[in-house]
Structures are given as C-alpha cells and as structure tokens.
Structure 1
Amino acid sequence: MATAVVFTPSPLLTVTIEAQPDGTAELHVHGGGQGVWIARMMSSLGCETRLAGPFGGESGEVLQPLIEREGIVPLAVPVPYPNGAYVHDRREGERSVVATHNPPTLERHDHDQLYDLALIEGLAADVVVLGGPDGEHVVEPDTYRRLAADLSAQNVPVVVDLSGDYLEAAVSGGVHLVKVSHEELLNDGRARSDDPDHLIEAAAKLREAGAANVVVSRAGEPALALLGDRAVSVQTPTFQRADHRGAGDSMTAGLAVGTASGLDLDQALILGAAAGTLNTTRHGLATGERELIERLRERVTLQDL
C-alpha cells in the first residue's frame, strides 16, 4: 500500500448545518482545513495517510477522533491552545458563515516539533503533501521552503497546493508537483489573464523557479498541465454541481496518490482529474468513493497542446 504524510499547520473543527427534506436542521461535524480535506480523499483512494498537525484545547480533543474515523492517522503535536473552528449554515443552498475561530500562530517550540515530525515521518513515506495554513500568520512561508528542500534532497516526492508567498517559498525549495488554481495565479499576479496561453506561461515560470511539474485547475474549464516540458489539457465529463468547494483538494489528493503509487505523470493526472470532477457532484468536501472514481478515470483524457 502506498504511504503518505500530509503536513497541515492548522487543522480545523468544522460544523455545517444542512436542511433535511422535512425542513428540519441537520448538523455535520468533521475535521477540516485544506490538509485534512486532501488527506480525507487520499485515504478514500486507498493510500495509508498520516496527518502531521497541532492539536489542542477542546476543539483539538474533538478533532482527533473525527480524523481517525475517516481512516487518517493523526501525527499530533500537543499544543496549549485550541484549534481553529467554524460553523457554516448551508440550509439555503449557499454557505453562510455563522461563527469562526481563527487558528493561532504556532509558538516556536510547537513549530519546531511539527517541522521535525513531518520531516522524519515524511522520509519514510512515498509522497509528502504540503497543505497551506487556514489563516494568516500560522507559520512563516519559509517553513515550506525548508521542508520542501529537506525532503526533496532525500528524493521524497513533494506535492504542494499553495498560493502567494507560501507557493513561492515551497517552489524555491524544489518540489515534484504543484497544483494551483487559475484564480490563484491571477490573484498573485503570476498570470496576465485567464487565457490558456498565459496560464501555461505562468506554469512555465513556476517550473523555472523549482517545480518539476505544474497542474493548473480552472473551475469548470479543462485543467492545464506542464508535465516536464509537455503541455496538456485535461478533458473530463461535465456534471451538474452540488458544491464546487473541495474539488481542487480532491484533485491534489489524486495527484499525490498517483505519485505515491508509482503511476506515470499522465495516469496520476487522470486520477486527480477524476477525483476532482466527481467531488463536484457531492456536498461533502473532498469526499468520494474509490470505486466510482476509478470508473470515472476511463472517461478522462489528455490532449497535447
């Protein structure tokens, strides 16, 4: 079985209020945050997934068993402060924020312990995924540069799904694969427009900066990728969307599992695209059944640009 470590400096406790068919409210309590969502899909795809993150306070006590319930092994760094959390109301169809507790800045000792834990556990894994912080000032961007550099130097494939200064830092350390959305490229000023040529141009610059391969997701449009020097477009079926959130994290998870399993780049990209596409039909973030994702892979194709 393929093995993976997901680095997440800010796992969240999430509560979502849904409407049942009779109009009454239904509460869903889960682990959340980008790293947790990626790990959830990786576990669903049959990868033995460990999650390195800080856990503390009442929210942390609740969060750990929720993560374990999804087949993820928490690599917990105990901290003296609570994890971040949020409550969302989706009874009207769209998400409405009811309450948010932002994750805290990691104190120096806790940061160093988390870094060392992710590094040592990552050295024994088939892939390491660096998930972004869910909040400002949780960790410094340089943490990502150092971790990417240390793992890559030991020939551990590093997959990242980041933006802004965190993306720049991780890429400068050297990574196997970057997954980034076209909105993030535009917001960061890396792409001149959403024209495919400009997005490929931005991906090429990320390669020059230290990313061996780059995948650019484009919401409802075909994803683009630079697999080495080869540019491709990803053709997937189009489905009616239940919730777009989590599709990008599902794609990252599929790319990481494909990498850990030894698939070639084409097949890893196809797996990632299938996982992301199927997730759009569901209300759960980064959820999906492995068998159905595997069947959907047969309808995903790559087109050389």
Structure 2
Amino acid sequence: MPKDGSGAKASEGEICIFAPWPLFTITIEKLSDEGDEVYFHAGGQGVWVARMVAGLNGRPTLVGPVGGEASCVIEALVRAEGIELRGVPVKGANGGYINDRRGGDRKEVANVRPPRLDRHEIDDLHNAALAEGIRCGTLVVTGIPDGEVMPVETYPRLVKDLRANGVIVVADIAGSVLESIEEGLTLLKVSHEELQAAGLAKSDDDASLMKAMEALRGKAEHIVVSRAGAGCLALMEGRFYEAKGPEMAAHDHTGAGDSMTAALAVALSGGLDPREALRLATAAGALNVTRHGRGTGRREDIEAIVPSVLIEERT
C-alpha cells in the first residue's frame, strides 16, 4: 500500500540507499603480540548506513557508481555483507583509503579520491535511485564532499521525484548538498558540528541548535540533530525533544550518526511513529560507539537497550 496515499508501493523493511561515494577501505590494527591485523571493507557513508540497515534486519539496496579495479573489490565486499547492490557503471575508478590504527588513533596512509561523474552517468545514477526508491518505498540520501563527484543540483531533483511518487526520504546530508534542498524531505539527520560549520548554529548549546532546526523546518517534516556523546535533539510534529541513550564506554564515535540514520529509516519504513523511531535511533547510535567498525550492531542488542533511552519534550 502507498505510505502517503500517492503512487509508491511500500515494501516494509526494504530500504534503498543513495550512495554516490562508495569506497574501498583498508584498516591496519595491532590486536595482539603475534602481528598486525588487516581488514578490508567497503566504505563511505552510504555503505555504513546500509550495513546498519542490514544489522536491524532490514533489506538494504545500495545504489551507487562503480568503476575501475576497485569496483570489483567493493562489489564483492558489499554483497558479502548481505547488501544488495545496484551498481551504475562509470568510466572513472572508485576511490578509497588506507588507515593505520596500530597506535590507537586513525592515521591516514593513503587516500584515493572518487571520480567526477559526467552528465550521462549522473542521469543513470538518478534513474537507478529513483526506480529503486519507488520499488522500496523508502530511500536514504547520503551526501558527497563539497565540489566532488557531481553537481549538488542532482539532489533536489531526485528528492522532488521521489516525493512525487510517495517515497519516504530520509537524508543524512550537510554543506552545499543540504543547502541545495529547499523542501521535500521526510526526515533530516544532521550533526551539531555540521550546523555550526554551515553557520546555522552559533554554538553547540541547545538554544542555538534549536534555533537552527527552526530555520530548517521548510526542508523536512522531521529534523534530528546528533550531538556526539550528548544524545540528540529532535523537532518532530512541531515539538522539540531531547533523547539520551544509556552511558557507554566509547571505543569509536565514528559511525554512530550513520547508525542513527539507518535506524530512523528502518523505523519509519516499518510504520513506527516519529518518537519511537527516535528511540530506536538513539539506541543504535549509543551501541555503535562501543564497537569496532562503522554502522555495526545487531537488532536484538539494540532493542534490548531501547527501554533505557530517555526522551523528554523541550520548550
């Protein structure tokens, strides 16, 4: 059945992820005295969101450009994680990076930038995302670094087409991509650092962040602002809420926001009301910081800590 009375056929649990920046990642760690450990993964924001969708027992379909030798590695690694891939062939080669974590912190050893797509490749990517978004009924929009991969004008066009066909659109975007979208998002997830970097929030205090959220109301029906280890703020159905998960000893903060985005998409796809979606997302983000790897966690563990998430209305 359509989710909002228009033309899209909803498929509960099926989530399309628009990922214009899929990468290969290599991480070197020293976990014992026996030597180094080397880990190979597909990466990029879209992949991390898709990974968490799968961890929440959703059925993710990743839509993104693939090209060059790196594409063979990325395609194999993505599918090995149970993520369906709708790859759009491009002439350039996928980018990637190598991180050395043997000293505890991430040290970048190499970084290969992704290609900039031509207009025909952009059209193919738009069509693939539109088709898969309509099929799934829910699509997550992930961003690109400013000035890379493709013009930001691709985003408002895609969002407009998706919403015209009744698709739930969850976006985790910032910078020029966020600025380019004027309306149409079902839910926007953004971090407090991104709001400050854009000049929308003068500081990270609640009053400043809430004022920034008010300024973004025309872009999205619901807005969630992650605040690293301080929980999140949300503007949902015209009301402000603060959500805090249980305290966890953080192993790695990176990836918590992507886990939240995935959980929000899965929850809305499953028909949960916005507050319950916020509760699930807060639990997913809180658990992810305890783990190695971005966008990881199991649904049974996340649901076990959902009752510990505190949500309070703010004024």
* TM-score range normalised by the length of the shorter chain: over 0.9
**Number of aligned residues:** 303
State the partner residue of 1:27.
38
TM-score, length of structure 1 as denominator length:
0.97
Are 1:223 and 2:244 an aligned pair?
Answer: no
Quote the RMSD (CA, aligned, Å): 1.1
Distance in structure 2 (CA, Å) of the matches to 1:17 and 1:136: 30
Give 1:138's aligned residue: 149
The offset of 1:255, in angstroms, is 0.5
Closer/same/farther in 2, CA of residues 135 and 189 from structure 1, 3 Å limit: closer
> Which stretch of the first structure deviates more once superposed, 161-170 or 45-54?
161-170
Note the 1:49-198 alignment, pairs <5 A.
49-134=60-145, 136-170=147-181, 172-198=182-208
Contact 1:230 1:304 (8 Å CA) reproduced = yes
Task: Provide Cα deviations, 1:14-67, integer angstroms capped at 9, x if missing partner.
Answer: 000011221511110000000110011011101111000011111001110100
Say if 1:31 and 1:134 are closer, same or farther in 2 by CA, change over 3 A: farther
Instruction: Tell me if the contact between 1:146 and 1:173 (Cα under 8 Å) persists in the aligned partners.
Output: no
* Structure 2 CA distance for aligned equivalents of residues 280 and 295 of structure 1: 16
Offset, 1:126: 2.7
Following the alignment from structure 1 to structure 2, what is the Cα–Cα distance between the partners of residues 23 and 184? 41
Which sections of structure 1, spanning at least 5 residues, go unmatched? none
Are the counterparts in 1 of residues 137 and 166 from structure 2 also a CA contact under 8 Å? no
Three-state SS of the structure 2 residue aligned to 1:241 is: coil
Q: What secondary structure does 1:192 align onto? A: coil
Which residue of the other structure, out of 224, 242, 254, is the alignment partner of 1:245? 254
Please give the alpha-carbon distance, in whole angstroms, between the structure 2 residues aligned to 1:26 and 1:148: 41
Q: In the alignment, is the contact (CA less than 8 A) between 1:274 and 1:297 conserved in 2? A: yes
Identity of aligned residues (%): 46
1:128 and 1:304 map into 2 onto residues whose CA distance is 28
Cα displacement string for residues 265-303 of structure 1 (whole angstroms, at most 9, x for unaligned residues): 011111111111100001111111111011111111210
- Deviating 4+ runs (over 2 angstroms): none
For 1:202, which of 195, 199, 212 is the aligned residue? 212
Find the aligned partners of 1:274 and 1:222 in 2 and give their Cα distance: 10
Q: Which amino acid aligns with 1:132?
A: G
